[in-house]
Structure 1
Amino acid sequence: MMARALVLLSLVAGVGVALAQTPEKSPPPAQPETAIDTTTVERILRGEEAAEAGSGFTYDPAGRRDPFRSLLKGRQREELGERPPGLRGMAVDEIRLTGIIKLPEGYVGMVQGTDNLSYLIRPGTVLYDGSVESVEKNQVVFKVQVADPKSLKPYREVVRTLQ
């Protein structure tokens, strides 16, 4: 029994060695190369060269804020030239409502400007970036011009109330 197992084992080993020595099949013959379209490759390389030169990329913010500017510093106002003196040269965000006075003609608002002077405002008073829409018993409504081309209204209303 042992002899049969030994013969069978040597036979299997011999067949394995014989099969291992058979030559591999050669790959099919290569087809002749066809002409390769290099225009796409050349266009990509030209684009990379232009990008490396700095002339190929531009960024259009399209009304979005700069993501690299700090939100804590606040907005910087675009100056449209020299501001007029007095109340006409102050923006709505720069003045502070200090009081409202009742007169026979109606209510008048009292504001403090950036120059620490007090001014009286009535409906129709013009400021640097807007105007006074109305003065009521405890609030003043301003109409501020908006420079956003996507906005439906060219203005926004800012309401200041007495504290």
Structure 2
Amino acid sequence: DMPALLEALRSDPSYRRRKLLGAGGLLGLTAAVFMGLLFDEARSERRQKAACEQAGQEIFVDWNDETQATLARGFAETELSYAGDSWERTREVMDDYAQRWAQTRTAMCLGRPTAAGTEATPGRGEQDRQDIADCLEQRREGFAGLIAAWSKLDTNTVV
């Protein structure tokens, strides 16, 4: 009779084994897909962080050891008695500005609030981030312009 045959087939150990192997395989596949997604997300986050850190370093294209040496010579060439002190104060202010700019640019790119309050307004996140990025770029250009102006020093511009 048919019900007895079906029962006999269900109680066959190879049938149970295939069923368990199938379930185990499905579970393994699900776990592998999940781990792959986690790995991909972590890799994407690492790439984003590296890109943001690189964006934060943009200001150091303009403010670097070579630029500082050139400006130090320019201050010294004025032969003013206070030129050395003026250069040291200027360098400290410029160093501080460049560091804060870099930190703010990196934090903004990563979507983190900063001490300067550059977090996005709720509901306007992407637009605020773009506005902040534009502002930071304008400030970096102004910073580069100041460096360019100081590369043409004379006794009237050193205070």
- Over alpha carbons, which structure has the higher Rg? 1
Instruction: Give the number of the structure whose residues are more often strand, by fraction.
Output: 1
Report the TM-score, using the length of structure 2 for normalisation: 0.24
Pick the structure with more helix per residue: 2
TM-score (norm. length: structure 1)? 0.24
